[in-house]
Amino acid sequence: MKRILIVGSLGQLGSEIAISLRDIYGKEQVVLTDIRDDVNLALIESGPFYKLDCTDGPALASIVQRHAIDTIYHLAAILSATAEKNPQRAWHINMNGLLTTLEVAREYRCAVFTPSSIGAFGPSTPKLFTPQDTIQRPTSIYGVTKVAGELLCDYYYHKYDVDTRGVRFPGIISHMTKPGGGTTDYAVEIYYDALERHHYDCPLAPDTYLDMMYMPDAVKAAIQIMEADPAKLRHRNAFNVAAMSFCPEEQAAYIRTHIPDFTIGYQIDPLKQAIANSWPDSLEDYAARVEWGWKPTYDLASMTTDMLAKLRERMHGG
């Protein structure tokens, strides 16, 4: 039986991975932690929860020991646009937070899942069907921490035999917890504004292509890779995973099939646009498919239908 701890369990990814893991393994087997304890009280109260600063090694170690944890999902991170406004803080949280988890994992023999990102690539990376193994010279501090994180996790595997695994997530679209401070947040916000105002002002240009994924696929990837047969994993910490690639103009067109009077305007945020321009348009994910059976379920059409239905339910008190 797995005994899992999540670092950063109240964020966009953590809050949904937590629910799925508790459904699969049981509530008492999945211990949640987060720097906050004043949001999502329903999740906090659904099983063991600790308020935790992800850079506090002794506090993390004592929870891991108390609950005999064998697997840690390390999801605490500052996203790309926020990171650019305070690079030193982003480095501290993203790197020292990860190092803290890896050290505790080394001491208590835990497996570790950490997400990397499309942000781990840069302007010199091939932009279309970006290969698994290619040039990684990111220009954002977020990307710098993601590449360093991939390498650090590989290092802990080779040096200390810590069972580290991870994927490079694209922008993640979800309706339960909003993302915060990412370049790809627009692709979530657009659905809220489409329903509330029938209009969205987009911070990225109409033809900015980026890889995206619907949350159920992201949760599936995070759980599936930790269940994968280690003998088949050649890459471990930085699997490209792709589901769909689109630009704001295309997303707006799909929304219009549900909300015909929906309009989109463009108020470019230069910081976000520069970050988006430095990232690939679309990733190639053959290694993940072959090594652990990755296969996404949702495309832009089915995601749009589901997102709008789920948000409508919520707005009407469902």
Binding site for ligand SER (CB under 6 A): 79-80, 117-119, 142, 169, 171, 182-184
Active site residues: 142
Instruction: Tell the smallest beta-carbon distance from residue 169 to ligand SER (Å).
Output: 6
Instruction: Tell the smallest beta-carbon distance from residue 77 to ligand SER (Å).
Output: 9
Which of 2, 26, 31, 38 shows the shortest CA–CA distance to 14?
31
* C-alpha span between 80 and 126 (Å, rounded): 20
* C-alpha span between 273 and 249 (Å, rounded): 15
Quote the tokens at residue 159. Answer: 């040096």
Name which of 33 and 117 has its Cβ closer to ligand SER.
117
Instruction: Tell the smallest beta-carbon distance from residue 110 to ligand SER (Å).
Output: 24
Taking the C-alpha atoms of 176, 173, 230 and 227 in order, what is their torsion angle to the nearest 10 degrees?
Answer: 30
Instruction: Tell the smallest beta-carbon distance from residue 117 to ligand SER (Å).
Output: 3
Name which of 46 and 139 has its Cβ closer to ligand SER.
139
Q: Which residue is nearest to ligand SER (CB)?
A: 182
Question: Side chain identity at 126, as an amino acid letter?
Answer: P
* C-alpha span between 100 and 8 (Å, rounded): 13
H/E run at residue 202: strand 199-202
* C-alpha span between 290 and 281 (Å, rounded): 22
Q: Is residue 137 within 8 Å of residue 189, measured between CB atoms?
A: no
Name which of 246 and 262 has its Cβ closer to ligand SER.
246
Name which of 186 and 292 has its Cβ closer to ligand SER.
186
Name which of 162 and 204 has its Cβ closer to ligand SER.
204
Instruction: Tell the smallest beta-carbon distance from residue 119 to ligand SER (Å).
Output: 5
**In angstroms, how far is CA 89 from the centroid of its own chain?**
19
Neighbours of 260 (CB within 10 A): 8
